[in-house]
Chain A
Amino acid sequence: MQEETATDGIVTLSEVKRTYYLGEPVHALDEVSLSLPEGSFTAVMGPSGSGKSTLMNMVGCLDTPDDGTVTVNGQDVGALSDGKRARLRGSELGFIFQQFNLLPRLTAAENVTLPMVFQNVVGESRRDRAKTLLTRVGLGDRLDHTPPELSGGQRQRVAIARALVNEPSVILADEPTGNLDTETGSEIMELFAELHDDGSTILMVTHERHIAEHADRIIHLVDGQIEEIEHVTENPPVQGSETA
């Protein structure tokens, strides 16, 4: 079993324990230590119940450890109040979900800038920001469309733009291609590759090997422990792209 020492890195987990009590104690995370260096692209794989989601929630500041520490951009997540953690989520983290999770009654532009609303950013700059980001994900002409008017791939692109809006330290992706067909999934992975090239730090949970191979390294979780950290030497070519 390999472990990394949690010293530097934009996100660090140090001997993190999280136990759920569902009749009997379940060790969702059992003394996990991990560091995400700035600009890294990490995939997490493992069977269901291995602790992938819990790890994601820890890094995403949605959950706090029973024991051990999680830091995001130098801040000890467990020590923060509920409200401060929410603010930290908004400013340091960008979430991308399998279900896209856009607000159905807001337009694409409004969905993208929703995290800015909770950071009290106001004014015209918001619309410009939405336009820039939606253009970057290829939806520059869909600003005022609502999610029901968009395809699955387009919705995920809006979600990616939303994740980028506050220039987060880390982008968290939970099965980002899980609800998309293979071709659309490849296009989304191409976008991830671009983000990675531009220097974003990415943590992605997936159960698909070929998706995980887009990352620099793959963390294999089993029973709440890191079984193996696999370094990916060669990323698979992304369909229709020479850059990946």
Chain B
Amino acid sequence: MKIAESFRISWRSITGHKLRSSLTAIGVIIGIAAVIVFMVLGGAFEANIVQDFEEDQGDPGMWVNTQNTNQGFEIVPSPIYTETDIQTLESIDGVEFVAPEANLQASQLSFGDTLQTGGFGVQAVDVEQYSEEDMVKGEMYSSGNEAVLTQAMVDTLGGAVGPGDDVTINFEGGVSEEYVVTGIVEEGFGSGPDAAVFVSLVDHYNTTVETPRGTQEQAYSSLIISAEDASAVDSIKQEATEYFETDSDAKELKQEEQDIAVQTVDDAIDQITAVIDQLTVFIGGIAGISLVVGSIGIANIMIVSVTERTREIGVMKAVGARKRDIIQLFLVESTILGAVGAVLGVVLGLGLGFLAVTFIGWPMAYPVNWILIAVAVGLTVGILSGIYPAWRAAKVNPIEALRHE
């Protein structure tokens, strides 16, 4: 029996039971749509983050920090990068500068009557990281009791802060210091929060460690390596990584179960997208469970259909249908249900996903791979759930079937 013929006959039987076929297909539609919605949301979230990263990306460069082995992502704030390391890195071809990052543990910031508790960072930063273009207003600090704020910090404080104003920072441990704001920068450096206060490194940071050579040196918990231009990023990353693996102070100073990570913006994006991908697949997998329910629905209705059409099966056998013809008819029918369910599920999923994404304000994502997978899964679900009913149909004894009422 030609496949096209079985499509024609099966389609007739599906449309002959409109309500039943629709309800059956809905089982698959919901399953597929649920998976697609989560894939759209995951993809859109990812696209949104990547977009943010790329917007934030100022000068080409990379971060160096310490992470616990096998725990990725979680940065360990231990001072292991010495002045010697910084000087060695600065000698790499294409490096513009290497700047240490030193986070100061601040708990509260006050400007007049405005109090900001948490949600901001205070970093001791080398003056050379800034150029004139970075400044929105005012100028760079030149002494220990002066500070520069990011635009986000200014916004947090109500927008009224400007050069010449005084802010007070309460550090953890009870110390409180007053600073004069000298300037505003568009955005901060490195990985800290957007709302940040920058103060002079030389005046506010004095953690020293004993180097492997027995000397005392200032040491920092993370570094920013800035490249002269984007094309140098890869080679710098390679050389820096090599240095940290061979004869850096940091290698000797770090704990055994810690790793030194040299990450470019692209690396960070890759790392974040990998996590989002895993999360998306995990949630999608849970949504996929409903597909199992959908496939049981198809199998159920097909078994009912076989019982109901026993007589028809007998007639078809009497007029020359072989077992494989009968199997083909029922498999095609269940496959059509699965395929229609998959296609409608994809459409519904994309529609709902689009609504959700638009509502949240993320860019729309089309998870092409998952759409293909969903359609394939729909077909597979249709075929698998049709196998047993089809086999039962093929087994029908025509003599008994023709006597069947």
Contact = CB atoms under 8 A, between A and B. Distances in A.
A89 B323 CA distance: 13
Contact of B320 (A86, A101, A105): A86
A114 to B, nearest CB: 6
Contacts of B399: 53, 57, 62-63
A122 B318 contact: no
Contacts of A103: 312, 315-316
Contact of A115 (B5, B319, B322, B402): B319
A186 B12 CA distance: 34
B13 A105 contact: yes
A106 interface: yes
Nearest to A87: B320
Given A60-B318, A86-B317, A122-B2, A97 B323 contact: no
Contact of B325 (A91, A101, A118): A118
A83 B2 contact: no
Contacts of A119: 320
B1 A118 contact: yes
A118 B398 contact: no
B56 to A, nearest CB: 63
Contacts of A117: 1-2, 5, 9
Contacts of B318: 60, 62, 89, 95, 101
A127 to B, nearest CB: 13
A95 B311 CA distance: 14
B320 A118 contact: yes
A146 to B, nearest CB: 10
Interface residues on A, range: 20 to 34
Contact of B324 (A83, A102, A106): A83
Interface string A55-95: 00100101100000000000000000011001101110001
Which of A62, A87, A105, A117 is packed against the most chain B CB atoms within 10 Å? A117
A102 B312 CA distance: 8
Contacts of A162: 319
Interface in B208-255: none
A21 to B, nearest CB: 15
B393 to A, nearest CB: 14
Interface string B371-405: 00000000000000000000000000011001000
A240 B325 CA distance: 43
Contacts of A83: 322-324
B322 A114 contact: no
A144 to B, nearest CB: 13
B76 interface: no
Contacts of B319: 89-90, 95, 114-115, 118, 162
A76 to B, nearest CB: 18
Interface in B284-311: 311
B321 interface: yes
A63 to B, nearest CB: 6
B320 A120 contact: no
A105 B321 CA distance: 17
B5 A105 contact: no
Contacts of B311: 101
A60 B318 CA distance: 8
A171 to B, nearest CB: 13
B12 to A, nearest CB: 5
B402 A118 contact: no
A26 B325 CA distance: 33
A8 to B, nearest CB: 26
Contacts of B317: 62, 86, 89
A70 to B, nearest CB: 15
B315 A101 contact: yes
B323 A82 contact: yes
Nearest to A89: B320
B159 interface: no
B322 A118 contact: yes
Contacts of A57: 399
B324 to A, nearest CB: 7
Given A97-B402, A106-B12, A120-B1, A115 B320 contact: yes
B158 interface: no
A114 B2 contact: no
A240 to B, nearest CB: 31
Contact of A62 (B1, B12, B325, B398): B398
Interface in B317-342: 317-325
Contact of B322 (A87, A101, A106): A87
Nearest to B320: A90
B318 to A, nearest CB: 5
Contact of A114 (B13, B316, B398, B402): B316
Contact of A86 (B13, B322, B402): B322
A115 B325 CA distance: 12
Contacts of A104: 16
Contacts of B325: 86, 118
Interface string A164-194: 0010000000000000000000000000000
26 contacts: A57-B399, A62-B398, A63-B399, A82-B323, A83-B322, A86-B320, A86-B322, A86-B325, A87-B320, A87-B322, A89-B319, A90-B320, A95-B318, A103-B312, A103-B316, A104-B16, A105-B12, A106-B12, A114-B316, A117-B9, A118-B1, A118-B316, A118-B322, A120-B1, A122-B2, A162-B319
* Nearest 9 CB-CB pairings of A with B: A90-B320, A118-B320, A86-B322, A115-B319, A105-B16, A83-B322, A101-B315, A95-B318, A118-B321
Given A89-B317, A101-B314, 18 more contacts: A57-B399, A62-B317, A62-B398, A63-B399, A82-B322, A86-B321, A87-B320, A91-B320, A95-B318, A95-B319, A103-B315, A104-B16, A106-B12, A115-B319, A118-B316, A118-B319, A118-B321, A118-B325
